[in-house]
């Protein structure tokens, strides 16, 4: 199951980037918006395709046989 996280980066000029990851519900985004509100003014918002949703599970099976 995908983890839901917020990743926050504060650069050396104080500019803040808040990225929500693995969101299924609204709560994570609400927290991000609340943080943006207390820090300053939102300059940009972009929606990206979700990393976890594109995750592909690959199962490899390796058989090692002794050749005699």
Partner 1 sequence: MSTVLVVAPIVIANWPMITAAVTAAIATSGFTAIQHEASNIASQMTSKTRETIEVDDSEVLTDTFGTEEAIVVERDGITATFKRDSKGALQICMEGDRVSKTQLRAIGEDLLGRVTQQYAYHRIVSELKNRGLTIVDEEMTETESVKIRVRNW
Q: Which residues of the chain form contacts with partner 1 (CB under 8 A)?
A: 3-23, 25, 27-29, 31-36, 38-51
Pick from 25, 45, 50, 47: nearest CA to 33: 45
Pick from 25, 34, 18: nearest CA to 4: 25
CB of 25 to partner 1, least distance (A): 8
Residue 9 in tokens: 């980066």
CB of 13 to partner 1, least distance (A): 4
How far is residue 13's CA from residue 15's CA, in Å, rounded to a whole number? 6
- Pick 49 or 62: Cβ nearer partner 1: 49
- Pick 13 or 61: Cβ nearer partner 1: 13
């Amino acid at each position: 199951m995908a983890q839901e996280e917020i990743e926050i980066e504060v650069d050396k000029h104080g500019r803040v980037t808040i990225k929500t990851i693995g969101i299924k519900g609204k709560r994570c985004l609400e927290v991000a918006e609340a943080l943006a509100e207390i820090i300053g003014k939102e300059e940009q918002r972009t929606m990206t395709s979700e990393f976890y949703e594109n995750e592909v599970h690959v199962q490899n099976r390796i058989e090692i046989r002794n050749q005699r």
